[in-house]
Chain A
Amino acid sequence: MGLTSFLARRATRAARVLVVASPDAFAVRVAAERQVVARGWRLAESPADADVLLHVGRVLGEMGEVAGRLWDELPGPRARVAAEIVAAVPAALDEAAALLLDESLQTADAAGRTPPDVGAAEDDKGMRDGDMGHGDMGDGDMDMDMTMSPDGIALASGSEDDRDGLEMDALPVRLGPVLPHWPAGLVVDATLHGDVIAEASARWVGSGGGSPAADDTRLAARACDDLAALLSLAGRGDLANASTAARDALVDGRDADALRFLGTLRRRIVGSRLLRWTLRRTAVLDADRVRRIGLPPAAAGDCYDRLLTLVDRAEDQAAVTPGAAGPALTLDSLGQALLGLDLGAARLLVASLGTPAGEVVTVHG
């Protein structure tokens, strides 16, 4: 039918891509993000928002299971493609576009989809009852389920020790490895009171035991990427795009351009009073606490201080000043730093610390 294929063609020009990136595939992820933008596509924020699931690097183990579940959450029309190396990115996205346009394939895919299998979780800690009987696609019947675990998922239960002494529920939530502007492969197991993090512990998945920074991309490009993530989370997408442009220039070896971009970006960041106002006093870590929980000294201060530190680091490394590596950061200290913060502040904190660099990362579990 003419209209359907017309809509399909228009729709594919605005495709959104959910990236599942292995932590050691920085260069491939950058290439994928650049290709996505160059096509007029956009990165998706959640699977409901996505048409394409893109595996970047070698997506293995737990990361592979995560990718599988995310794939089940894409509404469709959907396409799943992979790029293990930089050179494979354009072909993978071409393939995705072709898959999205294939009407009969998409219809067959939609017809064969099944409801989610909650029991497939390998880590359900015995919190669910044994009743997984939810095999049909009908609407409404699930709401009649009066067990303690509607649809096979437990209800959140009361918290003993709320911060304000109020009675409410503690909600277990897992953040990462796939979230917008989140370090690839980082997982934080958190307990939320409302949106406040009451407990948190961090670990890496999917890096195959190696450190997440172990590829040959320049640290300066990483610093620009960290900066872009923080600016995006702070809501300044335009400044984040400028930082991304500097990152791309560094990846291409155009160092002079990158330094020029960064100079302009610094002026724009410093010139934005609202940005300063909203990041000042956010996720403050005083020097004492930083030392106690084992964060690097450069992490002290608020998110605005750390933003300026990221700008400095990007500029220093782009100018090839030796020894300006990212801060040492252990997972234990990260988990402790998140305690008591609301989700928004926690996300800003994680981004403002930058990607933990190189050899100093300890990999737990």
Chain B
Amino acid sequence: MSGVLASFVVALVVVLAGYGVHLAVVSWRTALRVLPFQSGWVPQAHALSRYHVRWYLGTLVFLGFDVEMLFMYPWAVVVAQLGLGSVVEMFLFLGALFVAVVWAWREGALRWA
């Protein structure tokens, strides 16, 4: 775990060093306030707004399957010891989930253009 912690610290140092070198060589140190780029016009409204996330049905399907990964990782470690039974059980479960995915696809949940 110390290696991971050290990597995090080193990564932060690298980022800070980048800013440090930048401050040392840049012609003006403070950031410049600018208009957001909109092809050269003044924006009529702030871009941060309630966004139309058209693929939200896909996110729901994703969440369902993603939780399954919680079982998948421990299973991967012990499957060889537990034998054929655990393979059958896991893939029955995955199969059931995948049937749901196919159903969601037929309902158009994965198409959002």
A residues with CB within 8 A of B: 3-4, 7, 20, 46-48, 65-67, 69-70, 72-73, 75-77, 103, 106-107, 110-111, 113, 115-116, 118, 120-121, 123-125, 127, 137, 139, 150, 153-158, 162-164, 166-169, 171-179, 187, 193-196, 342, 345
- Is B30 in contact with A137, judged by CB distance below 8 angstroms? yes
Complexed CA–CA distance, A168 and B43 (Å): 19
Closest A residue, CB atoms, query B42: A121
- Is B44 in contact with A154, judged by CB distance below 8 angstroms? yes
- Is B54 in contact with A164, judged by CB distance below 8 angstroms? yes
Which residues on the B side are within 8 Å of A163 (C-beta)?
A: 52
Tell me if B37 counts as interface (CB < 8 A to partner A): yes
CB neighbors of A among B43-89 (8 A)? 43-54
Tell me if B33 counts as interface (CB < 8 A to partner A): yes
CB neighbors of A among B12-50 (8 A)? 25, 27-28, 30-35, 37-50
Interface of B is mostly: loop
**Distance to closest chain A CB from B106 (angstroms):** 18
**Distance to closest chain B CB from A144 (angstroms):** 15
Closest A residue, CB atoms, query B44: A172
- Is B39 in contact with A48, judged by CB distance below 8 angstroms? no
Query: A66-B41, A106-B27, A154-B44 are known contacts. Are A164 and B35 too (CB-CB below 8 A)?
Result: no
Interface of A is mostly: mixed
Which of A70, A103, A120, A154 contacts B45, CB < 8 Å?
Answer: A154
Tell me if B4 counts as interface (CB < 8 A to partner A): no
- Is B35 in contact with A73, judged by CB distance below 8 angstroms? yes
Which of A139, A153, A196 contacts B52, CB < 8 Å?
Answer: A196
- Is A124 in contact with B40, judged by CB distance below 8 angstroms? no
- Is B46 in contact with A72, judged by CB distance below 8 angstroms? no
Closest A residue, CB atoms, query B47: A171
Closest B residue, CB atoms, query A188: B39
**Distance to closest chain B CB from A149 (angstroms):** 9
Q: List 22 A-B contacts (CB under 8 A).
A: A46-B37, A47-B37, A67-B40, A69-B42, A72-B34, A73-B34, A73-B35, A73-B37, A76-B28, A110-B28, A110-B32, A116-B34, A137-B30, A155-B45, A156-B46, A164-B54, A171-B45, A171-B47, A174-B38, A178-B39, A194-B53, A196-B54
- Is A110 in contact with B27, judged by CB distance below 8 angstroms? yes
Tell me if B113 counts as interface (CB < 8 A to partner A): yes
Which residues on the A side are within 8 Å of B43 (C-beta)?
A: 153, 173
Which residues on the A side are within 8 Å of B30 (C-beta)?
A: 137
Query: A125-B44, A127-B45, A193-B52 are known contacts. Are A72 and B35 too (CB-CB below 8 A)?
Result: yes
Closest B residue, CB atoms, query A20: B40
Which residues on the A side are within 8 Å of B31 (C-beta)?
A: 139
Closest A residue, CB atoms, query B31: A139
**Distance to closest chain B CB from A113 (angstroms):** 6
Query: A69-B40, A75-B32, A76-B27 are known contacts. Are A194 and B54 too (CB-CB below 8 A)?
Result: yes
Complexed CA–CA distance, A72 and B40 (Å): 9
Give the top 3 A-B pairs by smallest Cβ distance, nearest first: A194-B52, A66-B40, A110-B28
Complexed CA–CA distance, A107 and B25 (Å): 12
Which residues on the B side are within 8 Å of A174 (C-beta)?
A: 38-39, 41, 44
Which residues on the B side are within 8 Å of A342 (C-beta)?
A: 113
Further contacts, 6 of them, CB under 8 A, given A69-B41, A150-B46, A194-B51? A69-B40, A154-B46, A156-B46, A166-B52, A176-B39, A177-B39
Complexed CA–CA distance, A42 and B102 (Å): 46
Which residues on the A side are within 8 Å of B53 (C-beta)?
A: 194
**Distance to closest chain A CB from B89 (angstroms):** 37
Which residues on the B side are within 8 Å of A154 (C-beta)?
A: 44-46
- Is B34 in contact with A169, judged by CB distance below 8 angstroms? no
Complexed CA–CA distance, A121 and B35 (Å): 12
> Which has the most chain B C-beta neighbours within 10 Å: A103, A125, A162, A193?
A193
Which residues on the A side are within 8 Å of B42 (C-beta)?
A: 69, 118, 120-121, 124, 153
Complexed CA–CA distance, A120 and B43 (Å): 12
**Distance to closest chain A CB from B40 (angstroms):** 3
